[in-house]
Every structure is written in structure tokens, then in C-alpha cells.
Amino acid sequence: MQKFLPLTVLSLTLGTATLSRAAGATTYPLTLTDDLGRQVTVKAEPRRIVSLLPSDTETLCALGVCDRLVGVDTYSDFPQQVTRLPKVGGLYDPDLEKIVALKPDLVVVSKYGKLEGPLTRAGITVLAVNPETYDEVFSKTLTLGRVVNREAQAKQLVLNMKRDIARVEILTRNATRKPSTYLEIDPAPYSVGPNSFIGVLLAKAGARNIIPASMGDFPKVDPEFIVKANPALMLGLDLKTARSRPGWNSLQAVKTGRVLPIPKELNTILGRPGPRLPEALRGLARLVHPELFR
Amino acid sequence: MSYEQEGRVLVPPVPRRLGRTAVLVLVLLGAVVLAVGLGSVTIPPGEVLGALWRGITGAELAGNDVIVWQLRLPRVVMGVVVGACLAVCGGAFQGVFRNPLADPYLLGVASGAGLGAAVGIVAGWPRGTIPLAALVTALAAVAVTLGLAREGRRFPPTRLILAGVVVGSVLSALTTFLMLGGEDRARRVLAYTLGDLGFSGWPDIAAVLPYAAVGCGVLMLLGRALDTLQLGDLTARSLGVPVERLRLLVVVAASLATAAAVAYVGIIGFVGLIVPHVVRLVWGASHRVLLPVSALLGGTLLVLADLLARTTPLSQVGVVTTLLGGPFFLWLLRRGRYE
């Protein structure tokens, strides 16, 4: 795959025209297993959808059914038009009454909200669609596409995303040096393993993650380990914080000033395994290899 | 090694006490040596000793020296200071309230510190100011508790405990409310309140040490008065102990020490509650013995717990203290005769 990247881009570009006609319309009632392992039957094409996960909101809009959303969670803020929709609370404080009052024929939820019970009892179809890994971003896009009768658009969207990702990869793959990188997602400190969604993007952005896969996806890291690894680049904190930590003054990244906070907008997209994945990758690649984007 | 009987002399003869203290000091030193030698990065003993030597003499630090001198040793020393501090304050609180369930966080110190930290974190203040914010709110919380519990010039124990519990609950609820507001900062606040020795450096130790030394020093000087207080308020008064002033002094001293500890390393549970009881079960209940021995044992326990947190997937020191301390204490409780 790595070797034939330019070919991949070409075939992805050419393939879009033929593929989009191959996908058929969804037939209802549609029965599928959701991310909570429940058997869910969608009786007819959903017309009034409530989305309780920002990445699902973005995916539904990217599939062209933004106008069918009648409510979203507190954190859904993209695309612009969803900010005008009624807000029905967040993961910890969902407003059940408000959701039911919107008369949705489909509510898309995360794995963790425990909303499926009460909403199902209220006679509402609830579907947990919760992308977490890199590969799931694509598979869940296709799932949502099937559910809302936009299978062709979903396949097209996945192809476009993969093409845009490959374009960034072509740049970073030919970078002369790949800096050893420590990415901090929480000052406790927590970092990301290579198999996590962000870890995959980090590798594609042309960085060598100092965290080995054996430490898990979101490990709490002993500061000793970071000092020993002596990364050339640190992301997710600022230079002042890094300097204030015991023993960090002597690290490569701190000495050369390669300690970069992740801009707020990019940080938001990085936490959303959805259609803006290529954008997140571009943002990361710009931080890791600014010389490639001049 | 049995529980002291009433009517017998509470203080054992001197040689035995010296021997016991020596053993405990050696155990603490052993724990420190072990904890400085082991970590997520493996460093040979020779290199560890070299690093310590170069650190003490102020020579140029090279290679793994930074890890040993700037990260590991401060972390271990902080463990000793905080562990000792929590155990002494816990013991003093249990004595002054004559309540076996008292711990250093009884009067709202921890939730006060948690709230201060949460405000600072959510408002995005620089990292260095967070402990100071926590310290201020921790002491303010104790002041509120004392104000609520006061009856004229007296501080009845029951009122103090109840006021402390309620102040703590209210402040915890405020902290939770703040956490729900800032999604991405919630985990940071949570991590802070869980307790962690992770980024302790020499400056942090220098900041905590004065509070800890003054607070715990005062408590240890009050050992004899605390012993007398065990006979009841009335008896203690008739023996010339200024009960109210003693209670206030213990609360202020312990709160000062605990607030500093919480401000810099978060809330580490269990050490302050359990260590004094272990000491009572094994060495008797006299506070003149209980408080210094608790300091040695508390320091040892926290250093070893943090060693496990650093080198195993348990990763959070509070989890280790409770997971290992709990069953051990229950075993001791079954073995000993606790009255």
C-alpha cells in the first residue's frame, strides 16, 4: 500500500465515478446490530433525526441529510447550520423529555450515555453509532449511510476521505526525518498509543510516536519514560509548561523549542472520528513537518 | 506486641523503644532505596548511586542522572513527606475527636483544595498557581467549618465532624458542577483529585515542607495532652488540659499540613485513616508513640505504594493504597484485639 500511494490516489479518483452508481437504495425495515450489540430495526427512512454525538452529527451532514436533524447534543457545533438546532444536553446531562418532545424517528447515541433504555421504552428507535478507531471512522460512515438511505453518498465520502488522507501521506512519507514525538492529551500526563485513532494519524503525519503499542491506546505515562525517550517534538502542551516540569529542561524538544500546543480548532477535530479526519491529519502534519507545507 | 492493657504502664522501657524506632527508620530507608532504584526506566544500581553523588555534589548531570536526581528522588521524597504528614494528621484527628473514623480530610480540607484546583484549571490559570489556589481554598474550607461548628468559645467534636462533612459535600458538589461545564478539563480535575506524585520536583517539596514540618511538629508536641484527652473532656480539664484550645490547635496544625499536601499532590486516601490504627494495634495507643511511629510508617507506605503505581498498570497511587492497604488492615483487624 505504502509503495503504491500515488497509484492509490489515482485509482481512488477514478473509482469514484463508477462506484457511486453501484450502490443501491436501502430497503426498509432495516435490521442491524448497533455498537451496544443490540438488534435494532429501522422501520422506514428516518426523517426526523436527533444526534447525540458530534462525530455522528458531522457524518450525517456530510452525507447530505443535515436538514433531517431536528436536535443535537451540546457539543455538536459543526457544520455551522447545526448550531441553530435545539440542544438536548450532553453525555452526562441529556434532556430526555426534550428529546421525546422533538418526535424523532431515529436517535443516534454514543455507547456511553445509557439513553437507549428510557428512549426505547418511550417507543423511539435508538441506534448506537460510536466510531472510536481509525478504521471505524469509515465503517460507521457506511453504516449511517445505509440507515438514512444514502449508501452511495457514504461510499463516495469514504473514497474522498481516503484520497485526501493519501495526499497528505505522500508528502510526509518522503520527509527526510521523522521526529520522535510525544503527544500529550492530558497533563496527568496521558498520551496516545500507536493503535489509537490519534496515534494512527500521528504516524501518518510523519512522526515517530515514543509510546509503544504495549502501553495501550491512552496510557498514563510515567514522566521518567518521557525523559528517557527524549523526544525531538512535543505536541499538546506549551514550552512554558514543559520547562516547568522537573528534569525536562534538558530534553531535545525543549532545548530546540519544538514544544507546540495543539490549536483549539485542531484539537476539537482530533477528538472527532468523523468526516473531517483528513483535515485533522493535515493539521497534525503541519505541526510535525511545517517545511512540507510552505 | 500486644495491645496495651489499661492500668499497665503505657510507655515501654527505653531500650525497646529505641530498638523499635531504629527498625522503623531502617525500613523507611529500605523503601526509599528500593524506590529510587526501581522505575519504569531500568537504571543499574551503580548508575543510580553515581547520579545521587553527582546530584549532591552539584556536578554536571549526564545521561540517566536527570531521571534519578530530578524526577525519581523528588518523587520519593515527596512520598515520604506527604505519607508521614497524612498519617500524623490522621492520628491526631482520631485522638482529638476520639473517633476511629476520623482522617485528615475530615473537616473539608480535601474538597476545599479540590474546588480551588478546579476553579484554577477551568479558568485556565498557569500550572504553577494551581497549588496556591488549592491551598487557599483548603484553609478557607476549614475556617468555614470551624465557624459553623463553634458554640461560643467551644468546638464540640460532633458539631465539628458534622459541619466538616456538610462543608465537604457542598464544595464537592460545586467542583462536580464546574467539571461538567468544561468537558475537556473534567479529566484534568478528576486526575488532580485522585492524587498523584507524578511531577513532584524539588521546588514543590520546598513549598510543602515548611507547612508539613510546622504542622506535624506541633502535633507531636501535643502527644501528652492528646493522651490525657482520651480520658474525656471533663477529666482532661480537671487535669489542667485546656481542651478547647487544644482542639483548635490540633485542627489548625493538621489542616495546615494536610492542605499543603493536598495542594501539591491531590487527595491520597486511606494512608491517614489506616496507618494510625495499624500503629495502635501493634505498638499501643499512646500519642507520644503513635504520632512519630505513624510518620515513619506513613512515609514508608506511600513510597512503596507510589513505586507500585509507577511500575505496574495500577498507575494511580490512591488506587494502590486502598487496594493493598484495605485487605492488609482487615487481616490485622481479625488478628488483633481491637477495642
pLDDT tens-digit map of B167-176: 999 999 998 8
Tell me the HSE value of B226 on the side-chain side, using a 13 A CA sphere.
Answer: 29
Instruction: Write b or e for each residue in A218-234: b if 16 or more Cβ atoms lie within 10 A of its Cβ, otherwise e.
Output: ebbbbbbbbbbbebbbb
CA–CA distance, A135 with A273 (Å, rounded to integer): 10
Is the pLDDT higher at A21 or at A174? A174
Find out whether B121 and B129 touch, Cβ atoms under 8 Å.
no
- Count A/B contacts: CB-CB distance under 8 Å: 66
Q: What is the pLDDT of residue B131?
A: 86
* Residue A186 confidence class, pLDDT cut points 50, 70, 90: confident
DSSP code, position B94: H
A135-149, A215-229, A238-252, B92-106: range with highest mean pLDDT: A135-149
pLDDT band at residue B196 under the 50/70/90 scheme: confident
Give how far A190 is from chain B: nearest CA, Å.
10
CA proximity to B222, closest of B190, B191, B250: B250
Q: What pLDDT, on the 0 to 100 scale, is given for residue B234? A: 92
pLDDT of residue B238: 94
In single-letter form, the type of residue at position A223 comes to P
**What is the nearest CA distance from B67 to chain A, expressed in angstroms?**
6
**Nearest-CA distance from A187 to chain B in Å?**
7
Its CATH class, for the domain covering A26-148, is alpha beta
Contacts of B74 in chain A (CB under 8 A): 246
- In this model, does residue B287 exceed pLDDT 90? yes
Inspect the interface and report whether the beta carbons of A90 and B183 lie closer than 8 Å: yes
CB-CB contact of A100 with A122 (8 Å): yes
Question: In whole angstroms, what is the distance from residue B99 CA to residue B26 CA?
Answer: 31
What's the one-letter identity of residue B166? V
Q: Which chain B residue's Cα is nearest to A247?
A: B70
**What does the domain layout of chain A look like in residue ranges?**
26-148, 177-293
Residue A154 · residue A140 · CB < 8 Å: no
Residue B15 has pLDDT above 80, yes or no: no
Q: Per-residue confidence at B2, pLDDT binned at 50, 70, 90?
A: very low
According to the model, what pLDDT value does residue B1 have?
Answer: 41
In this predicted structure, what is the pLDDT of residue A1? 47
Helices (H), A89-238: 96-101, 116-121, 134-147, 151-173, 197-204, 223-229
Per the CB < 8 Å rule, is A246 touching B310?
Answer: no
At residue A22, the pLDDT reads 52
Q: What is the mean pLDDT of residues A17-45?
A: 83
- pLDDT given for residue B92 in this prediction: 96
Do the Cβ atoms of B40 and A247 come within 8 Å? no
Band of residue A23 on the pLDDT scale cut at 50, 70, 90: low
Mean pLDDT score, B19-39: 92
Question: What is the rounded distance in angstroms from the CA atom of residue A53 to the CA atom of residue A73?
Answer: 7
| Residues of B whose CB is below 8 A from A220 | 315-316
The reply to whether the predicted model has a pTM over 0.85 is: no
| All three cell numbers of B242 | 485546656
Q: How high is the mean pLDDT of chain A?
A: 91
The CATH code for residues A177-293 is 3.40.50.1980
pLDDT of residue A70: 98
Note the pLDDT of residue A21.
Answer: 47
In which band, very low, low, confident or very high, does the pLDDT at A5 lie, cut at 50, 70 and 90? low
Ranking A225-234, B113-122, B329-338 by mean pLDDT, the lowest is: B329-338
For residue A110, name the pLDDT band (cuts at 50, 70, 90): very high
Judge if A26-148 and A177-293 fold alike in CATH terms: yes
Average pLDDT over residues A139-149: 97
Q: What pLDDT is attached to residue B225?
A: 94
Q: How far is CA B198 from CA A51, A190, B91, in A?
A: 39, 11, 26
Q: What percent of chain B lies above the pLDDT cut of 70?
A: 91
Contacts with B72 from chain A: Cβ below 8 Å = 224
Report the alpha-carbon distance of residue B290 to residue A174 in Å, rounded. Answer: 67
Mean local confidence (pLDDT), B30-35 = 94
The answer, yes or no, to whether residue A243 has pLDDT greater than 80, is: yes
Say yes or no: B152 contacts chain A, CB-CB below 8 A. no
Chain A residues with beta carbon closer than 8 angstroms to that of B67? 224, 227-228, 247
Which of these, B226, B324, B310, lies nearest to B271 by C-alpha position? B324
The backbone region for B205, taken as left when phi is positive above 0, alpha when psi lies in -120 to 50, beta otherwise, is alpha
